[in-house]
Amino acid sequence: MSLKAVVRTEESARLYMVQKGVARGVPIMLGYLPVALTYGVLAKQAGMTVAEITLMSVLVFAGASQFMGAAMIAAGTGAIEIIIATFVLNFRHFVMSFSFMNRLRFIGLQWKVPLSLGLTDETFSVASMHTEEAKQEKGMYFYAALMITAYSAWVAGSFLGGVLGDVIPAVLSQSMGIALYAMFIGLLLPSVRKELRVGLIAVIAMLVNAFSSQFISDGWAIVSGTLIGGLCGVFLLKEEKQ
């Protein structure tokens, strides 16, 4: 009897975390769908088949680099060049993964490895603003559900873009280009309201990114903004209770 009760609470905790993860993934979904559709359309025009378009989304799962990859394929750029450019553009995920994995330090690799693969700018940002779940029971289901929600939207959107072509009117898809930026703002603002110095960290990162993008590629500029902005946090943020 008591064993059954334990099983039931475990199940409901899991269900609760999955529902919460999907709910937090919806804004990402809203932002990903139009971007993924656009990627599908452009990649089709670049001469890729629907299978290749979808496969790239399944295996790479990093928006900006996929746009770049499709454009470079269309331009007839060599494979090595495309792969190196992808590495540079996506290297920021190494920094992000470091931050997120440090939160999950005491979680087993069987969770850490798949969750690390689901990290994008968007899933990382949402996951990082929900640090409590890392300490809660069945909290890993929250992160997994969040990432799977985003991943499905990305893969399905790319496939549809490749199959259907331009289905969204240009003016609407252009307007939806603001969606992910708005989501980033919506994630950042509550923390800034609680602790003004968080805003200072973000502004420093913005300025470093804007300044360094004049001299280096966008990928490295985001990495340097993130690292230097974060480094200021060492002095600006208070010690956190472990």
Residue numbers 78-107 binding another protein by CB under 8 A: 79, 82-84, 86-87, 90-102, 104-105
Q: How far apart are CA 11 and CA 7, in angstroms?
A: 6
In the complex, minimum distance from the CB of residue 133 to another protein, in angstroms, rounded to a whole number: 14
41 binds another protein (CB under 8 A): no
Candidate list 27, 40, 161, 219; residue touching another protein; CB under 8 A: 27
127-190-119 Cα angle (round to 5): 15
Residue 7 or 117 having the CB closest to another protein: 117
List the alpha helices (DSSP H) in the chain. Answer: 2-45, 50-59, 63-74, 79-90, 92-103, 109-117, 121-128, 139-164, 170-175, 179-194, 196-212, 218-236
In the complex, minimum distance from the CB of residue 9 to another protein, in angstroms, rounded to a whole number: 29
132 binds another protein (CB under 8 A): no
Residues 182-201 that bind another protein (CB under 8 A): 182-191, 193, 198, 201
Residues 157-176 that bind another protein (CB under 8 A): 171-172, 174-176
Q: How far apart are CA 227 and CA 223, in angstroms?
A: 6
